[in-house]
Amino acid sequence: MKKILASLCTIFLFSNIVTSAKAEINFLIGTWAEEPLTPFVEAFEKETGIEVNIQTFPFRDLLATIEVRGNAQADDVDVIFVDAPLVPSYAVRGMIGPMDQYFADTSVNAIFAPAGIAAASWNGEMYAPPLNNSGQLTYYNKDLLAKAGCAEPSMIEAERVTWEEIVDCAKKITDEANGVHGFIFDQISRYYQLQALPESAGGGSGVCEGGLSVKGCLTNDGWMKAGQFYYDIHNTSNISPKGVGPDQTHELFGLGKIGIFVGGSWNNGRWADTDLNYGVALHPYFEGGKVVTGCNSWHIGVWNYSKQKDDAAKLVRYLTASPEVAIHYVEEHNSLPAHNSAILHVAEDPKFNNFPGIVMNLATYESANHCATRGRTPGFLEFEEIVNTSFEDIRNGGDPASVFADAESRIESSMRRYK
């Protein structure tokens, strides 16, 4: 009996030694990234012998999970997905650590586009290198535009469509009785996409200089004009439907129920192989205003409380600095690259000069030339949540002036923690 027990103990100890010899890192990502990243994570595991445990979460849950683990200073997380504008917030609160030392043997400028490096950095240090980038365009249903007698918006800079022209055309298309609307935003009531409105109207990002205040920056004329525009398209001209969430907008356009859709390059993959007769054009702007589009995307960072930071950093570098990963994202997921090699790939491959591939070329152009970096503030999490809610309230009939005034006072109150 004693012998059996001794043997069992030996086997148990031995198995523990074997198990602990193999490094394992936990990687928190968004559900949407599981499919594109898994083959590369598996290749990384083979190459390094480090086991990667991928944990996926929907967008909001991912952010909430990161916050909860951060508050607990949990050491069971090693690598996290970082939404570009949250880099300062995570950096200031010590949730992610600087990455410069892990790229010391190379030049980050040679790997990533400048906008990607800027979004990845805070106070002169790079915290979370970019996995990809994003760009916004105007998609339109050719049949609905022709039926309404509208001219098709253009891909040429000098003929860029204005918001005023979009509204005029959308009014002609809208046929509420048959569930057809003239216009819709891809990411309804989300700051990421709607920031382009106040920026174009001269209102800025909403965050004041220094990133620690919003006083007067959310209630200026540009933001009022943007708020009124958003109110009108949902409540006055009714060219955009209410009660539709960001997950449904591309489906409505795909079903031919929307005339004009302003959204990200990734949508192209959803319609390119369907019968939908659609075209693409540059992003709209306000007549006489600035040309601005949404940009930046997801980055990857090393969890500051991880006990395996070196292994974690190897994974971050493998996924962000590999041209193969960036090109795969371009080819398979219509995602804009932040990696210089993939940007060059888009510029040189002839298939990106013709429709539908040209979507990548146009989006790269928009992102490179008209990118509106989201407000840089350590309080971005609170800022974005409150601004998103404000846009949704305006969409549901709230007065833009009072909604933005409320938002400003609320954000200002939450910002006191960073001052």
Partner 1 sequence: MNFFKRQWMVPYLFLAPALIGTIAFKLYPIFIGFWESLIYTSFSGGAEKRIFVWFENYQYLFDDKIFWKSLEITAFLTIIINPLQIAMSLGLALLLMRKSKFIRIIRSLYLLPIGIALPIATIIWGLMLDPNQGLINGLIGVFGIPPQPFLVSENQALWCIIAIATWKGVAFWMLFLLAGLEDIPKQYFEAAEIDGATPFQKFRYVTIPQLKRTILFVFVADTAANFVLMVPMIILTKGGPLQSTNVLIYEGYRSGFYYQDWGRSLSIVTILTVITLIVIGLQLLFLSEKNEGIKVK
Q: Would you tell me which residues interact with partner 1 (CB under 8 A)?
A: 64, 67-68, 71, 92-94, 123, 179, 241-244, 378, 381-382, 385, 389, 392-393, 396-398, 403, 406, 410, 413-414, 417-419
By CB atoms closer than 10 A (0-12, 13-18, 19+), residue 210 is exposed
Phi, psi of 371 (to 5 degrees): -70, 125
Amino acid code (one letter) for 223: W
Which C-beta is closer to partner 1: that of 23 or that of 92? 92
Which C-beta is closer to partner 1: that of 204 or that of 241? 241
Q: How far is the CB of 93 from partner 1 (least distance, A)?
A: 6
Nearest to 236 by CA among 244, 227, 245: 227
* R_g of the chain computed on alpha carbons: 23
Q: How far is the CB of 51 from partner 1 (least distance, A)?
A: 30
Strand partners, 28: 55, 80
Q: How far is the CB of 384 from partner 1 (least distance, A)?
A: 9
CA distance 330 to 407: 37
Which C-beta is closer to partner 1: that of 51 or that of 406? 406
Amino acid code (one letter) for 374: R
For residue 325, what are the CA distances in angstroms to 33, 131, 320? 12, 8, 7
CA distance 312 to 301: 9
* Structure-token match 């074997």, residue found: 18
Which C-beta is closer to partner 1: that of 72 or that of 151? 72
Q: How far is the CB of 240 from partner 1 (least distance, A)?
A: 12
Which C-beta is closer to partner 1: that of 290 or that of 376? 376
CA distance 198 to 286: 9
Q: How far is the CB of 382 from partner 1 (least distance, A)?
A: 4
By CB atoms closer than 10 A (0-12, 13-18, 19+), residue 234 is buried
Which C-beta is closer to partner 1: that of 57 or that of 418? 418
Q: How far is the CB of 171 from partner 1 (least distance, A)?
A: 19
Which C-beta is closer to partner 1: that of 209 or that of 348? 209
Amino acid code (one letter) for 14: F
End-to-end CA gap in the chain: 68
Q: How far is the CB of 296 from partner 1 (least distance, A)?
A: 21
CA distance 205 to 178: 37
Q: How far is the CB of 92 from partner 1 (least distance, A)?
A: 5
Q: How far is the CB of 184 from partner 1 (least distance, A)?
A: 12
Which C-beta is closer to partner 1: that of 90 or that of 298? 90
Which C-beta is closer to partner 1: that of 85 or that of 153? 85
Nearest to 201 by CA among 230, 175, 237: 230
Beta-strand pair 136-141/258-264: antiparallel
